[in-house]
Amino acid sequence: MTILTALEWLAGTRWSIDLHESQYMWPFLESVHVLCLTIFVGTAIMLDLRLLGVAMTRVPASEFTRRLLPWTRGGFAVMVVTGGLLFTATPVTYYQSLFFRIKVIMLIVAGLNVAIFHARTQRRISEWDLDPTPPRAARVAAIVSLIAWSAVVVAGRLVAYNWFACDLQPQSAFVNWAAGCVVPLP
Amino acid sequence: MIDSLLPWFEAIENSGLGQTVRVSVWMFPVIESLHLLGLCALGGAVLTVDLRLLGAGLTRQPIATVATGVHPWLKAGVAMMILTGVPLFMSEAVKCYNNPSFWLKMEILPVALLYAFTVRRRVASNPARETSAVTRLTAVVSLLLWFTVAVAGRWIGFSS
């Protein structure tokens, strides 16, 4: 069984069809997903700005990681739950969406950046906690974070546009490859 | 009275900028994406201060320190939202005219902005201020106002 056939099965379930066709459930989940960006990305941006040394430089960086990051994590949890549920509404469309694939790749980049920051840079935070401008590694983490999460948001928004949809052939060979379209041979 | 505004909305939609965004395939989605990034920035700026006013988040710092530190980014977020929101509106002004969510957003948005830059700013920038019923109420009103603006904004797209 391939991922595609598994998702085709999922798309045929009562749950998926009901959610896809629901009048209020889908817009409700989508609204929560989008508005939760303010909590998740919003608080992450504040930490990134502090790490860059451009906002609240008199506040210790550890204040942000200790007191604001729990909100970031909580927001992320809601994003994952609502995003996961939304995915089940039209799983095949998302799986074969170029923008969705870009979003997943950028999510992985952003996640690795978080992991590296926590495993290395943040571990020695006491050495630079009060520095108005944190060390280079922290600033790089902040820049990567801002770019990667922005890309996740933009790609996520563009998933709604079907410019590169598999069922709108002809698409370029690159798009068909990158989006995983199953195209009958000419 | 409201009826008399329709020709204005039509003129806005038929303006150069309105038509440019409207006929373009990619402009609306790109500006819309930037509008979303503005939402993240503005949301983060609003939440960081409101959380502090509620007695959560950066609680070891004085309220005024958090509020003044965030204020430039609040302004930047608002600027980004307006700069991207205006062309989005112009490209579909007539649709907005007939959209109850749009009107709700436009009624609450000025209140939210006025509140953020007057009452809330005054409460939060007082160096002697500590978390109290006053600051909590200030934050709850702020959150309710911005929440309404954001939900109504999202709903413009659904209720077409």
CB-CB neighbours of A127 under 10 Å: 10
pLDDT exceeds cutoff 80 at A181: yes
pLDDT exceeds cutoff 80 at A185: no
Q: Hey, of B26, B32, B35, B58, which one would you mutate to test binding to chain A, going by the most A CBs within 10 A of its CB?
A: B58
Please tell me the distance from the alpha carbon of residue B60 to that of residue B143, in angstroms, as a whole number. Answer: 22
> Could A68 and B57 be called an inter-chain contact, meaning their C-beta atoms sit closer than 8 Å?
yes
pLDDT exceeds cutoff 80 at A36: yes
Residue A162 — pLDDT band, cuts 50, 70, 90? confident
SS3 category, B63: helix
Residue B81 — pLDDT band, cuts 50, 70, 90? very high
Of A120, A34, A141, which is closest to residue A82 (Cα–Cα)?
A34
Q: Report pLDDT for B3.
A: 64
Q: Report pLDDT for B71.
A: 96
SS3 category, B26: coil
- Assign 3-class secondary structure to chain A: CCHHHHHHHHHCCHHHHHHHHCCCHHHHHHHHHHHHHHHHHHHHHHHHHHHHCCCCCCCCHHHHHHHHHHHHHHHHHHHHHHHHHHHHHCHHHHHCCHHHHHHHHHHHHHHHHHHHHHHHHHHHHHHCCCCCCCCHHHHHHHHHHHHHHHHHHHHHHHCCCCCCCCCCCCCCHHHHHHCCCCCCCC
CB-CB neighbours of B25 under 10 Å: 8
Its ipTM equals 0.92
For residue A148, CA distances in Å to A45, A107, B43 come to: 11, 7, 18
Q: Report pLDDT for A52.
A: 96
pLDDT exceeds cutoff 60 at B1: no
Q: Report pLDDT for B158.
A: 85
Summarize the confidence of residues B77-101 as an average pLDDT: 96
> Could A55 and B72 be called an inter-chain contact, meaning their C-beta atoms sit closer than 8 Å?
yes
For residue A55, CA distances in Å to A165, B71, B73, B127 come to: 41, 10, 8, 18
For B98-126, write each residue's pLDDT tens digit: 999 999 999 999 999 999 999 999 999 98
Touching check for B47 and chain A: CB below 8 Å?
A: yes
Please tell me the distance from the alpha carbon of residue A58 to that of residue A60, in angstroms, as a whole number. Answer: 6
Q: For chain A, what is the largest distance between any 2 Cα atoms, rounded to a whole number of angstroms?
A: 65
pLDDT exceeds cutoff 70 at B92: yes
For residue A37, CA distances in Å to A7, B47, B76 come to: 27, 11, 17
Residue A183 — pLDDT band, cuts 50, 70, 90? confident
Q: How many CB pairs under 8 A join A and B?
A: 102
The A residues from 88 to 147 touching B (CB cutoff 8 Å) are none
pLDDT exceeds cutoff 70 at B2: no
Per-chain mean pLDDT for chain B: 94
Q: Hey, of A25, A35, A146, which one would you mutate to test binding to chain B, going by the most B CBs within 10 A of its CB?
A: A35
Closest chain B residue by Cα to residue A63: B58
Residue among A34, A37, A63 minimizing CB distance to B61: A63
Of A70, A68, A66, A73, which is closest to residue B48 (Cα–Cα)?
A68
Token pair belonging to A42 = 């919003």
Residue among B41, B51, B65 minimizing CB distance to A45: B41
For A101-140, write each residue's pLDDT tens digit: 999 999 999 999 999 999 998 888 999 999 999 999 999 9
Scanning the structure block, which residue is given the tokens 């099965």? A9
* Residues A138 and A121: beta-carbon distance below 8 Å: yes
Q: Hey, of B30, B37, B51, which one would you mutate to test binding to chain A, going by the most A CBs within 10 A of its CB?
A: B37
Please tell me the distance from the alpha carbon of residue B78 to that of residue B69, in angstroms, as a whole number. Answer: 16
